[in-house]
Every structure is written in structure tokens, then in C-alpha cells.
């Protein structure tokens, strides 16, 4: 009798071991190794049902380039994040918290493609029955007359249905529920996710079918399963935002066919996700002028400039360790800026609690937030309101100098479009032509902030 070959795989990072160990040597997780039966060497599910053409070595100059039009989803914000639409044969992974709207937007997308654009789609639901899926579509008032779907979790049955229907778009909701009979481990395990995702990627490339995978996230906010899952796919999208809030943000963190860090902004309604075409107006809708600690900044996410509000609250600390809390910003960045303020402005905050928040649930990784953060902290510390219709952006170096940021002219144009009349920016971002609509104050270091706002009010 042939002995069954097994190995142990870490559920956290995907590391393998020939025997069980208590602590993973790669990620240091305890009791994460799980015994898994190795897959049979039969070439895989896809290779067994699709003929494999012999590999031919060619130079890249010999490849004939034919422009393949992207498939527009009919949702402008989603097309923006994808780089203009869905590329044929690509694999897209979309992740997010439970209830954030992943299945909703995909159901809206495939309904629009199959109904209005006559593009063949197949929606595979591993978490809901077809009746539940139909109830959701009815609630969202979607056209489901041409939408084909199955409720299945076994990858062999999914491929059989896909080969019969020949869809251009295949949606798997979700990859954590799919399993293959070649492995004995449970759905959602590292081995199952890695094997099923590998088979789906191979299917997409061999048939030129666009495959969209829905992925669960862990409590830390990262995609569940092995890290290799994100490496195998062509595009990774993250749904951001609180499920209790109205607005949702889709961010592109990996895209082989477009720019990364593009944002798509949606509003959750009783009819599904609706596009927000002017997000700056949404984020500033509740802004109140003349509030100490409040500054409007212009950030840049992908190719889009956004106006968002940064708020700071500085209070006297009554504990031994003052608190430093940031929401929507990197905490280490705040610590660095506080050190620069103490060194070059003489403002010590070691006995103050400091809270910094980006209004609207937006997460900002742009270094142009440095100057707005410093100015908002100064405003709250001195209890001084900033002038009305003021926008600020700029990166601060460790020597207290103001460094230029990318897309300065686009940021100023966005601010002027929304009625702002004054801007404080780095000198290197000063526009070549003076604008009658926008007064620009260009500064080179932090010392120049004092004459602008605080000299007569401190």
C-alpha cells in the first residue's frame, strides 16, 4: 500500500516543515502548523482539462503587440482604481472587512456587465445560496435577467461550469471557501488557498478569462491566507472604511496594469454603493471655519488631489506618559514632527496629550501632511484659529526645512476650484504664474510660520 505523504504548513505565513513544531521559525507564531496531505502529481485540475501547448522560447522583440481594449465595469470609480477597466486574462483580488461592501459592488458590476453590455459573466458564490443572492439583487434593484451564477465551493465543479459557460468575467466569492479534492485540509487553510488560487491563475492565463477573487481579512486588517496569494494575482484592491459609516474607499495597493494607490470613493445606500464623483466636497461638507486646531490640506492619492481636514487637539497631560494618538496617519510620523517642532520652534510638548485625526475616515500616507499637522498642532496649542479659506501642504525635513511634494500645481488648482483663496506651500512648489484667485505664501522652513500666523497672537 502506498504511503500517504504529508507535511506541516504554518497557517499564518505558509512556511512548511516535514514535522510538527510548536513555534514557526519564520513568523514566530505558536501552534500554527497543521498537517496537510500533499497534492497528487497529476498536473493539477486545470492541466487535466485544458491541453498544454509546448513552451517556445522567443525574444520579446518577436512578440506581436495587439492592443486589447479593457472591459469597462460601468462604475467610473472602480474603473479608475483598476487603471481604466478590467484587462483580459488578469486576476484581481479584492479584500476588506466583513460587511464593507465587497460582494455588493461585485454583484452590481456583473449585473451591469451582463445586462447592459452583454458580456458573459459567471458569479460563483461559496458563502450564499442562489436564493440569498437573488434576494440581495432584488433589494438592490439590479437587472439579473442575464446574470449566471452557481453556489459551489469545489474547484473541480467550478472549472467544469466555467468551461461550459465560457465567461469573460469569473467572480469567486470567496477564495477562502473554495477547496480542492486533491487536498484533505479544510477550506481556508494555507494549503487550500494556495492551491486553489494557483489553479485559478493558471485558468485565467490559459483561457484569457478575467478572474476576480474576494478575500477575507484578519483582525489586523491584512488578507487572510498565505502572503503568496497577493504575489500570484495581478491586482490587489482593499476596501477601507468603517462598516458603520456611510462612505467606503477602494484603494489599489498592487496593479500590474495601472497606477497604485488610486482611490475609488463610494457612498453606501439602501440601493448599494453609489459613486462619489466629487470627494473633496464630501469630506469638507461638515467643515467649520475658525476652529482652533483645524486645517485643510490637499493630499494626493494616485492621480487624484483630495481636500481633507486635519484636526488636532492638544491638552495638558496628567499622567506620567503623555498620549500620542493618530487616526488616519502614521504615529511615528507624528513623533518625528513633534521633535522637529521642539528643536526649531522651541515648542515643547512633553507635558501635553496630542490627538490628531483625519476627518472622513481617510488614511493618508502622503508626506505632504507634515506641514498641515504641525500647523494644526500649533493652532490648538496656542488656541488660535487659522484664516478662512486656507489650504496647506508640504513635507518637513529633520532640519526644519520645507521640501516640495509631487503635483503641486494640481493641488492648487483643486483648492481654487473649491473656493479657497490662500495657500501655504513649500517654496519649490510655487507656481510660475501668479493666480488672481489664490494667494500663495511660499516658505522654506518652519521659522517662517511664526510671522505668518502666530507672531502677534502668541
300-315 residue pLDDT tens: 887 788 899 999 999 9
> Average pLDDT for residues 48-69, to the nearest whole number?
72
Looking at residue 343, what is its pLDDT?
93
Q: What Cα–Cα distance (Å) separates residue 31 from each residue in 21, 35, 212, 252?
A: 8, 12, 32, 33
More confident: 104 or 284: 104
Looking at residue 354, what is its pLDDT?
96
Peptide bond into 174 cis (omega under 30): yes
Pairing, β 272-275 against β 263-269: antiparallel
Looking up cell 521640501 gives: 403
Looking at residue 63, what is its pLDDT?
79
> Average pLDDT for residues 348-373, to the nearest whole number?
90
Residue 44: pLDDT band (50, 70, 90) is low
Sheet-wide strand order for 390-392: 324-327, 352-358, 304-316, 294-301, 390-392, 422-426, 439-443
Angle, alpha carbons 395-347-315 (nearest 5°): 100
391 closest CA partner among 314, 313, 301, 289: 289
Angle, alpha carbons 116-117-123 (nearest 5°): 85
pTM of the complete model: 0.78
> Average pLDDT for residues 412-425, to the nearest whole number?
91
Q: Which residues contact 333 (CB under 8 A, 6 or more apart)?
A: 326, 369, 370, 373
Looking at residue 34, what is its pLDDT?
77
Looking at residue 456, what is its pLDDT?
45
Backbone angles phi and psi of 72, in degrees to 5: -75, 135
Answer yes or no: is pLDDT of 1 > 50. Answer: no
- How far is C-alpha 63 from the geometric centre of its chain's CA atoms? 34
Strand partners, 254: 236
Answer yes or no: is pLDDT of 252 > 60. Answer: yes
Answer yes or no: is pLDDT of 61 > 80. Answer: yes
> Containing H/E element for 114?
helix 102-115
Looking at residue 124, what is its pLDDT?
96
Looking at residue 37, what is its pLDDT?
64
> Average pLDDT for residues 105-124, to the nearest whole number?
93
Q: What Cα–Cα distance (Å) separates residue 219 from each residue in 30, 138, 246, 296?
A: 17, 32, 21, 32
- Asked if 453 contacts 380 with a C-beta cutoff of 8 angstroms, the reply is no
Residue 50: pLDDT band (50, 70, 90) is low
- Report the alpha-carbon distance of residue 15 to residue 17 in Å, rounded: 7
Lowest mean pLDDT among 4-18, 136-150, 262-276: 4-18
- Report the alpha-carbon distance of residue 266 to residue 282 in Å, rounded: 11
Residue 277: pLDDT band (50, 70, 90) is confident
pLDDT (tens digit, 9 = 90+) per residue, 313-333?
Answer: 999 988 888 999 999 899 999
Answer yes or no: is pLDDT of 38 > 90. Answer: no
> Average pLDDT for residues 393-407, to the nearest whole number?
94
Looking at residue 450, what is its pLDDT?
82
**Percent of the chain having pLDDT more than 90?**
50
Looking at residue 336, what is its pLDDT?
95
Looking at residue 361, what is its pLDDT?
76
> Average pLDDT for residues 369-394, to the nearest whole number?
92
Lowest mean pLDDT among 26-40, 41-55, 358-372: 41-55
296 closest CA partner among 262, 304, 285: 285
- Asked if 253 contacts 260 with a C-beta cutoff of 8 angstroms, the reply is yes
Residue 52: pLDDT band (50, 70, 90) is low
Angle, alpha carbons 449-454-458 (nearest 5°): 145
**Percent of the chain having pLDDT more than 70?**
91
Looking at residue 455, what is its pLDDT?
55
> Average pLDDT for residues 271-295, to the nearest whole number?
79
- Average pLDDT along the chain: 86
pLDDT (tens digit, 9 = 90+) per residue, 165-208?
Answer: 999 999 999 899 999 988 877 888 888 888 899 999 999 999 99
The most confident of the ranges 26-40, 56-70, 371-385 is: 371-385
> Average pLDDT for residues 382-397, to the nearest whole number?
92
Amino acid at each position: 500500500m502506498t504511503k500517504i505523504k504529508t507535511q506541516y504548513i504554518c497557517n499564518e505565513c505558509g512556511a512548511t516543515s516535514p514535522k510538527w513544531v510548536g513555534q514557526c521559525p519564520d513568523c514566530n507564531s505558536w501552534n500554527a502548523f497543521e498537517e496537510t496531505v500533499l497534492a497528487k502529481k497529476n498536473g493539477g485540475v486545470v492541466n487535466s482539462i485544458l491541453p498544454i501547448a509546448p513552451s517556445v522560447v522567443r525574444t520579446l522583440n518577436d512578440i506581436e503587440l495587439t492592443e486589447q481594449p479593457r472591459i469597462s465595469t460601468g462604475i467610473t470609480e472602480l474603473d479608475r482604481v483598476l487603471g481604466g477597466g478590467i484587462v483580459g486574462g488578469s486576476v484581481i483580488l479584492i479584500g476588506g472587512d466583513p460587511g464593507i461592501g465587497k460582494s455588493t459592488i461585485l454583484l452590481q458590476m456583473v449585473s451591469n456587465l451582463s445586462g447592459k453590455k452583454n458580456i458573459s459573466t459567471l458569479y460563483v458564490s461559496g458563502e450564499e445560496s442562489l436564493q440569498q443572492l437573488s434576494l440581495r439583487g432584488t433589494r438592490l434593484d439590479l437587472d439579473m435577467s442575464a446574470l449566471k451564477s452557481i453556489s459551489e465551493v469545489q474547484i473541480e465543479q467550478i472549472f467544469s461550469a466555467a468551461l461550459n459557460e465560457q465567461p469573460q468575467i469569473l467572480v469567486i466569492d470567496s477564495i477562502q471557501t473554495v477547496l480542492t479534492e486533491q487536498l484533505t485540509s479544510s477550506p481556508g487553510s494555507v494549503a487550500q488557498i494556495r492551491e486553489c488560487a494557483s489553479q485559478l491563475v493558471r485558468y485565467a492565463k490559459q483561457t484569457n478569462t478575467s478572474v476576480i477573487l474576494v478575500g477575507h481579512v484578519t483582525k489586523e486588517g491584512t488578507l487572510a491566507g498565505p502572503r503568496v496569494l497577493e504575489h500570484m494575482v495581478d491586482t490587489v484592491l482593499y476596501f477601507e472604511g468603517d462598516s458603520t459609516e456611510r462612505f467606503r474607499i477602494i484603494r489599489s495597493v498592487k496593479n500590474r496594469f495601472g497606477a497604485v494607490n488610486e482611490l475609488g470613493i463610494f457612498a453606501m445606500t439602501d440601493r448599494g454603493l453609489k459613486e462619489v464623483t466629487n470627494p473633496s466636497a464630501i469630506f469638507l461638507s461638515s467643515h467649520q471655519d475658525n476652529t482652533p486646531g483645524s486645517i485643510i490640506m490637499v493630499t494626493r492619492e494616485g492621480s487624484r488631489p483630495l481636500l481633507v481636514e486635519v484636526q488636532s487637539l492638544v491638552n495638558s497631560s496628567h499622567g506620567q506618559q503623555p498620549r500620542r494618538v493618530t487616526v488616519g496617519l502614521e504615529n511615528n510620523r507624528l513623533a518625528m514632527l513633534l521633535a522637529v517642532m521642539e528643536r526649531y520652534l522651541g515648542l515643547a510638548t512633553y507635558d501635553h496629550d496630542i490627538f490628531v485625526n483625519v476627518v472622513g475616515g481617510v488614511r493618508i500616507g502622503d508626506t505632504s501632511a507634515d506641514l498641515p499637522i504641525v500647523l494644526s498642532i500649533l493652532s490648538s496649542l496656542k488656541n488660535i484659529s487659522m484664516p478662512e479659506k486656507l489650504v496647506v501642504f508640504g513635507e518637513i525635513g529633520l532640519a526644519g526645512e520645507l521640501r516640495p511634494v509631487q503635483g503641486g500645481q494640481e493641488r492648487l488648482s483643486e483648492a481654487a476650484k473649491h473656493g479657497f483663496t490662500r495657500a501655504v506651500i513649500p517654496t519649490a512648489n510655487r507656481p510660475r504664474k501668479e493666480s488672481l484667485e489664490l494667494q500663495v505664501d511660499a516658505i522654506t522652513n518652519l521659522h517662517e510660520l511664526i510671522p505668518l500666523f502666530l507672531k502677534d497672537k502668541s
